[in-house]
Structure 1
Amino acid sequence: MKKILILANNDVGLFKFRKELIEELVKQYEVYISLPYGDLIPKLEELGCKFIDTPISRRGTNPLTDIKLFLNYRSIIKEIGPDVVLTYTIKPNIYGGMASRMIAVPYIANITGLGTAVENGSILQRITLFLYKISLETAKCVFFQNKENQDFITDKIAISNHRLIPGSGVNLERYSIMDYPSGEIVNFLFIARIMKEKGIDQYLEAAEYIRKKYTNTAFHILGYCEDAYEDILKELQDKGIVQYHGMQSDVRKFHVNSHCTIHPTYYPEGMSNVLLESAACGRPMITTNRAGCREIIEDGKNGYFIEQKNSQDLVEKIEKFLKLDNKTKKQMGISARKKMENEFDRKIVVQSYKEEIEKAMR
């Protein structure tokens, strides 16, 4: 059998967003996965993957650590001899791409977001773009998850073959449309890592204002909490302003009672999976008007846009949503689901990969 090697930086993203692709690939190929060990590795092995434990400093900028990762990738590729390498996220894209290029192995990269280093325009941006130039120029295909990222990179780097895909897509069977909740309490849902760039400050500020003015509201939070926010969440929960439910492996049970997902992120992501899953469940959304979010929202039809880092704008959109009757809110959710069915089915992503893998192996 021919071999495929997948380079990624964590098990959660690989299992949650690439599972359907892996299920297709293992039918035809030997599939190896190189990433740090995590709780979902056994599930990936159950799918038929062969696991290679590969440490990655995801946010670190130590050049010695990154050189070590490059050498590790080069050693893994030489040992396995894959017919195609698939890479996801910045470091696997860069160092896995460079290693594949050096050994002359076909590879396909996925730009899952530009990252803060590129977006902020610092010296890190110039370094990252230089490394991307080395790693992406000879890729058999580069997948982009939004057009803004695609235009930005292809304007600076000559890439022979690139395609726009609808993010990671969404599994429309797993995230099926749910009955829209009734009842007096209007539940809002924030799902993300509890960190500044995900807009948690704006969510908390809006929750504090809205809860005082509208007692029939509830603000829920799901996600891993970074140290800086632990005390803040505890204090606001004790005051009855928010309800923090911690990290959840399955968010669907929270969508059942939710009326609206609020995602005030300004993190440079490729396409928001939080919004894709919420929309697939038939839930309206309030989110930032930026790449990775704006592709999912039709303002006023399935949700509302807000300006990034603007708590007042978020308050105003929440109040606008609260003034809608339940029938209109439900219709927004139905519109969100239809958009997922028409444009964001994960099967589109899987088919795109299968086509490019076949081309790369010719």
Structure 2
Amino acid sequence: MSYRDDPSDEIDVLFIAANTRSLAVNRGSLVRALQDRGLSVGALVPDDDFLQDVHELGITTWRYHLERHSMGLRGELSRFLHLRKLIREIAPRAVFAYAVKPIILGIPAARLAGVRETYCLATGLGYLYGTHDRRTRIIRALVTYCYALAGGLSKAFFFQNPDDRAELQQNLLFRHLARSVVVNGSGVDLDDYPYAEAPTEPITFLFMGRFLKEKGIDDFVEAARRLSRRYPAAEFVALGDADGALVNSISTAQIEAWHEEGIVRLPGKVRDVHRYLKSASVMVLPSYYREGIPRSLLEALSTGRPVITCDSPGCRETVQEGVNGWLVPPRDAESIAARMETFLNDPGLVREMGHNGRKMAEQKFSIHLVNQQMLCEMSIAHALEPLQSST
């Protein structure tokens, strides 16, 4: 695509965001990298929770309607047509969509609106690819077909771990239509999450994530319960809250029961996790949710915290067994407790493994490395280079 003299007049890259928080927190660095190349960036957003943060990035936004869990054909068709209309009016040079609905609705809508350069990013496959009842299998087959269509219409389909790509490439249509690229998650800003020596008096175990069963929050609580009597000085903290829109969310009654039990401290959902990471000794995320790569694990590695997580897609990418942490089987509170107990019996491992985790973050998960790989695949990111080199 050719460069326009005044990129503020028109949008070069339009993001279709799953929510404003993910755009500001997870895609903000990619946005800035595009802007550093002289490209103007806009976004379609479905909510305004973090809208101020998005606008501080210099992004022009438009509101669109997104029903995360709706499957009604009439409603989805209406939202698809609205997306096509919006994109046609904005007339961006390229569209970048991430998460399920923005990809399967936004990419076809963008192409029908006349956008020739589109990109997809699967930020994990979620519960659809981890649940196997008949209804879910039918929906999964339909979503996989839609992914294949979106991939065939796009210049690149990015995945955040190799297991997710392998899952979709089992589908013959996806394998032949989509040009897929694996990157190391969303990356982590090493400067925003600097190394800090982990405290070991007391040893504190931290969980960070939505309170969904598949995220392993109930397994974390059970492991804490098993250890609390024998190690009364140990502390257990869980950051996050329930997601009432999902049937697999932990109930409010259960969270209140955990509060009353008093074994795990539950501060709720917090905007700034830095102070909790600094006061933690070990990150524990026993998730089997089909993550891309969980952001909480990347932040923990960067801060220099050992990791206990599940041997599941996305999570396993963050652990070199016995070097910076351990992998445990899904749904296994006993194994989680056993690995946590190892740190309680040998506190020196906390800092040794934490230091190794920081090295992994630097070598593998730096956000600048991840962005560079993505930008290399995006034609529009190179549009200015010939002009810039000639001036």
What TM-score, normalized to structure 1? 0.94
Which of 245, 268, 291 is 2:267 aligned to? 245
2:374 is the counterpart of 1:353: yes
Q: 1:343 maps to which residue?
A: 364
Q: 2:296 maps to which residue?
A: 274
SS in 2 for 1:231: helix
2:135 is the counterpart of 1:120: no
| Counterpart-to-counterpart distance in 2, 1:260 and 1:276 | 13
Shift in CA distance, 361/82, structure 1 to aligned 2, threshold 3 Å: farther
Measured after TM superposition, the shift of residue 226 of structure 1 is 4.0
2:20 is the counterpart of 1:20: no
2:118 is the counterpart of 1:107: yes
| Counterpart-to-counterpart distance in 2, 1:191 and 1:107 | 33
2:203 is the counterpart of 1:186: yes
Does structure 1 conserve the Cα–Cα contact (< 8 Å) formed by 2:227 and 2:337?
Answer: yes
**Deviation digits for residues 240-275 of structure 1, max 9, x if unmatched?**
211111111111101111111110111111111110
2:54 is the counterpart of 1:44: yes
Measured after TM superposition, the shift of residue 133 of structure 1 is 1.8
Q: 1:162 maps to which residue?
A: 180
Shift in CA distance, 205/103, structure 1 to aligned 2, threshold 3 Å: same
Shift in CA distance, 360/151, structure 1 to aligned 2, threshold 3 Å: farther
2:240 is the counterpart of 1:223: yes
Does structure 1 conserve the Cα–Cα contact (< 8 Å) formed by 2:120 and 2:150?
Answer: no
| Counterpart-to-counterpart distance in 1, 2:89 and 2:289 | 37
Q: 1:87 maps to which residue?
A: 97
Which of 234, 247, 250 is 2:256 aligned to? 234
| Counterpart-to-counterpart distance in 1, 2:147 and 2:278 | 42
Does structure 2 conserve the Cα–Cα contact (< 8 Å) formed by 1:225 and 1:246?
Answer: no
| Counterpart-to-counterpart distance in 1, 2:106 and 2:271 | 29
2:66 is the counterpart of 1:66: no
SS in 1 for 2:153: coil
| Counterpart-to-counterpart distance in 2, 1:80 and 1:200 | 42
Equivalent position amino acid for 1:335 in 2: N
- Runs of 5+ in structure 2 lacking a partner? 1-6, 245-249, 384-391
2:324 is the counterpart of 1:302: yes
SS in 1 for 2:74: helix
Does structure 2 conserve the Cα–Cα contact (< 8 Å) formed by 1:83 and 1:361?
Answer: no
Which of 147, 151, 155 is 1:132 aligned to? 147
What TM-score, normalized to structure 2? 0.88
**Deviation digits for residues 69-126 of structure 1, max 9, x if unmatched?**
2112211111111111001101111111111233342101001111222343511111
Q: 1:53 maps to which residue?
A: 63
SS in 1 for 2:76: helix
2:219 is the counterpart of 1:202: yes
Q: 2:192 maps to which residue?
A: 174
| Counterpart-to-counterpart distance in 1, 2:238 and 2:122 | 28
Which of 74, 97, 103 is 2:107 aligned to? 97
Measured after TM superposition, the shift of residue 330 of structure 1 is 0.4
> Sequence identity of aligned pairs in percent?
29
2:274 is the counterpart of 1:259: no
* Deviates further, 128-137 or 235-244: 235-244
Equivalent position amino acid for 2:316 in 1: R
| Counterpart-to-counterpart distance in 2, 1:257 and 1:160 | 44
Measured after TM superposition, the shift of residue 360 of structure 1 is 7.9
Does structure 2 conserve the Cα–Cα contact (< 8 Å) formed by 1:26 and 1:49?
Answer: no
| Counterpart-to-counterpart distance in 2, 1:361 and 1:141 | 15
Does structure 1 conserve the Cα–Cα contact (< 8 Å) formed by 2:281 and 2:305?
Answer: yes
Does structure 1 conserve the Cα–Cα contact (< 8 Å) formed by 2:375 and 2:381?
Answer: no
- Runs of 5+ in structure 1 lacking a partner? none
Poorly superposed stretches of 4+, deviation over 3 Å: 226-229, 359-362
Does structure 1 conserve the Cα–Cα contact (< 8 Å) formed by 2:183 and 2:374?
Answer: no
| Counterpart-to-counterpart distance in 1, 2:207 and 2:45 | 28
Which of 65, 71, 77 is 2:87 aligned to? 77
SS in 1 for 2:158: strand
SS in 2 for 1:245: strand
Equivalent position amino acid for 1:334 in 2: H
Which of 325, 335, 338 is 1:316 aligned to? 338
SS in 2 for 1:139: coil
SS in 1 for 2:361: helix
**Deviation digits for residues 125-183 of structure 1, max 9, x if unmatched?**
11111111221112111111000111222342124532111100000000110122132
